[in-house]
Chain A
């Protein structure tokens, strides 16, 4: 009986697959930076290897939530880009797996440190410093002084002129929150945030939205990563990028291979590909001005140079842990966001 069934099945199979299709190589990519960059990576990788890439672009928060929801039955292979915190959290929860790429030797120290901090489960692919940008036209129109420091943003004349994202929904804004706390200490930091709250006209949902609003003249100042502000400036908007005088935090955009990836070989190929100098240099063609993690990759000339920025010693381990995160977010919600303006 079984033999009979098997041969019947074989016949059907031959009929269905008379063309004899070989199983094509594929890769499922979760991508968190802007769409163009994601598309560029996909297209270039496909052109070079012929591996078919299925890519979803979702913000790092959305991607993290999805990988977590899928943990019992992972559907993705590589998570490329997006701020480092959720990558570290994913590594901590065992959602991603260790991989020691032969490319590691070519990377900057900060990228390798990210790799080591996560026990090899993630790696830095770019870095970007936090800061803000302002609309020069609006500033002149209002006759406001050029803001140079964090402290300038809480001056009363900037009331209703500053925009930042909501740290509950955006990783960028959480980095801002953690930066302020590390820079000024927790108590003083929250005092700062309360004063800043008086000047905020809107907490946006997405991290880079404030600078886009500033570009269109919907707000004067937007607190964002500096490379996002550069993007707007290069696009032709009247934006000036500021690196705050007190010093500032930064993000390490990261990449991880998902634990239980179904296409592990292809995932590793992509991982190595994404760390290559020539691939990282392509970012500027899609107006992404982060500092690349490969030492041989020339930083885009438009990008703010990390050497010129006063960077704080950002404690990724403490402020990336979910306990600190939950506590700070709740405190921010209760003590800052609920205040009247």
Chain B
């Protein structure tokens, strides 16, 4: 085929795209199948004869779906561009026309005709009732859309964008399109539903009433005994958590880098734990220690002779749990920054006769400013998005993430209120982003240069040294106690009451029995366990690929709108999981993209939730690689794609592996987004654990969590083993990877 095309003077890339488009329209089923594309049921159960399974062309010819007809013709507008002899500018025009019109019509008909016929009343008024309907798009439509997208980007490249590099424009197009579809589109749906009343009519007054609800904004707790609004509760908690984790994280970072403390390795290992801990279990351990009948509470109450109280439920409990969970993240951000502060600057200060206190406060600390801001921001956002801890320990202290959840599933059944709360949550996070940017400003904090850095970091001033140690070390011990309790909890009859040894929780979750029809995996956890592993593994690969592709575009390419592009790809990081979950239901429960109740929606939500991880890993790794490497390759006339594949990818292997494993781990512990997206066939471990916790069945929840922690430790161990063989990049990836942490 190729040789023939070449001989006839045709452009291979255009030809290939047109073939792809026709395959999508003529061969593959146009609509999605309930059984899934890979079941191949569309081949065995009728194919072109069946209106559910037929490809687009036969939908037009045999099943009367005339509105698909333009999709057969519009891509053909690209035909003039097939000829090699046509000038690129002119060919580009045809390609843009073909791609853009195909995409536009595809979207238009998809949104205009849904499972009930006309989706918009003015269309029904114009043409009368349709008498037909269509479900969500399937493999064929996706293929055609992809081909049309690349026709469009090819056209843009032909007209000179990105120095005519079709691969670069194609990559940008792919990332932009998927971010638009899977981040912006669902978020807009949330924003929209906030302005609708129960019948779906536009009602700004309803929005206003919901938005100004005193239950959200009331400040009466300051002056009276009434409770404060849920918005203030959330912000107050987030500020406390952000500040607390930053300070504690800094203490840890200083202890590890600047003191003579011996067990630094242990401290570093501790930082991995919260990342691989499923939600809820830390909260449960806290109840067992500090609840009304908790060990510590009882002891203190006996000691002081007071009645044990329920003080842990509410702000103190959530805050404590969040400190445990998010301090390591602040540490991982700050350790890089603290290590990066150049000793030569501090030496210069000392040479100028500054004492160690002055050096620390006027040189070292200000240089850490971007790190401190970043750590605070992460803590703030994590706290806002946190769902598990407020659920377990919240008491009557309501926060936005749980309120959103119960507005949807609770007896009030009010998605509009959920949307309003989601908007508030989103505004707070964006505001925090903006404030961080302002505070860090444009000053230069660069201290790592190409020049060799002589000297060793100065020891801390005595006071700071003592303060750091006395904050960090007890906290580390406390973390260890909590985790020991968690492990212990899976092996006892009733955690916190009857501590006789048992394996019954593990047996209940992971047993296998024999029935009349063969093995029955009767353990109640198997179903969700395998689904979780499969979904997490399946989502890890695309997450790493799209993340690294984006990183490469950001680091190595220049194009207009690059800053906006970067903001768009990082946006999903700023959106709390609960909002993502809600928005995905709203956006993808109805055609044209109907994927609720499938595994695909889970995979897609994970890809776009965790994509920033891949991006950051890629940027970090790429910044280490001298651009002259790719320049040399390009000078030798290798194409961009070849350069990426043969030069950069092998060097990016560690970053890629790290991104893979990290995406895997994050997908296994995510809860706030997925509680809305799980279904009978695709239940996830975290949702199962949530159900057990709600029912007070702690033993099983903890046994299951322990197994998950073990699985994730294995995954991380495997990564260490694989990356360990390459010295290059190990430090960088190990240090920069976990920066992108969000629930």
Contacts and interface: CB of A to CB of B under 8 A. Distances in A.
Interface of A: 2, 5-6, 9, 12-13, 16-17, 28-30, 34-36, 39, 43, 46-48, 50, 54-59, 61-62, 64-65, 68-70, 72-73, 75-76, 142, 160, 166-171, 174, 201-203, 205-206, 208-209, 212-213, 215-219, 235-237, 262, 325-326, 329, 333, 338-341
B492 interface: no
Contacts of B409: 58-59, 61-62, 65, 169
B561 interface: no
B227 A340 contact: yes
Nearest to B514: A47
B678 interface: yes
- Interface SS majority for chain B: loop
B396 A43 contact: no
A338 B680 contact: no
Contact of A340 (B34, B44, B225): B225
Given A54-B681, A76-B680, A205 B402 contact: yes
A57 B691 contact: yes
B412 interface: yes
24 contacts: A12-B40, A12-B43, A13-B44, A16-B44, A34-B697, A46-B517, A46-B520, A56-B683, A57-B691, A69-B585, A69-B589, A69-B596, A72-B115, A160-B310, A167-B411, A202-B313, A215-B696, A216-B496, A235-B494, A236-B498, A326-B412, A329-B411, A338-B226, A340-B227
B292 A219 contact: yes
Contacts of B713: none
Contact of B695 (A170, A208, A219, A339): A208
Contact of A205 (B412, B522, B585, B694): B694
Given A166-B410, A170-B410, A218-B293, 18 more contacts: A30-B680, A35-B688, A35-B697, A43-B515, A56-B680, A56-B683, A72-B115, A72-B590, A75-B679, A75-B680, A170-B411, A209-B696, A217-B293, A218-B287, A218-B310, A219-B310, A338-B227, A340-B225
B695 A212 contact: yes
Interface string B516-535: 11001010100000000000
B412 A168 contact: yes
B410 A75 contact: no
Contacts of A168: 406, 410-412
B524 A36 contact: yes
A178 B688 CA distance: 31
Contacts of B313: 201-202
Given A72-B590, A75-B680, A338-B215, A205 B292 contact: no
B691 A35 contact: yes
B691 A325 contact: no
Given A56-B679, A76-B680, A169-B410, A46 B43 contact: no
Interface residues of B, number: 62
A68 B408 CA distance: 12
Nearest to A169: B410
A28 B585 CA distance: 20
A17 B497 CA distance: 55
A28 B287 contact: no
B516 A50 contact: yes
Q: What are the 6 closest A-B residue pairs judged by CB atoms, nearest first?
A: A212-B696, A217-B293, A340-B225, A169-B410, A47-B515, A54-B680
Contacts of A237: 494, 497
B344 to A, nearest CB: 56
Contact of B48 (A2, A65, A73, A325): A2
Nearest to A220: B292
Contacts of B310: 160, 201-202, 218-219
Interface in B596-615: 596-597
B410 A61 contact: yes
Nearest to B694: A206
A218 to B, nearest CB: 5
Nearest to A201: B310
Nearest to B220: A340
Contact of B224 (A47, A206, A340): A340
A88 B17 CA distance: 54
Interface centre among B413, B513, B590, B596 (most CB of A within 10 A): B413
Contacts of A39: 522, 524
Nearest to A29: B680
B411 A73 contact: no
A197 to B, nearest CB: 11
A31 to B, nearest CB: 9
Contact of A203 (B226, B396, B515, B585): B396
A65 B494 CA distance: 33
Contacts of A75: 597, 679-680
Given A201-B310, A205-B694, A218-B293, A341 B225 contact: yes
B694 A209 contact: yes
A16 B41 CA distance: 10
B163 interface: no
B321 interface: no
Contact of A46 (B44, B116, B515): B515
A299 B292 CA distance: 36
Contacts of A235: 494
Interface in B545-596: 585, 589-590, 594, 596
A211 to B, nearest CB: 8
A62 B680 CA distance: 13
Nearest to B47: A9
B99 interface: no
Contacts of B396: 202-203
Contact of B391 (A12, A174, A205): A205
A162 B681 CA distance: 39
B186 interface: no
A5 B48 contact: yes
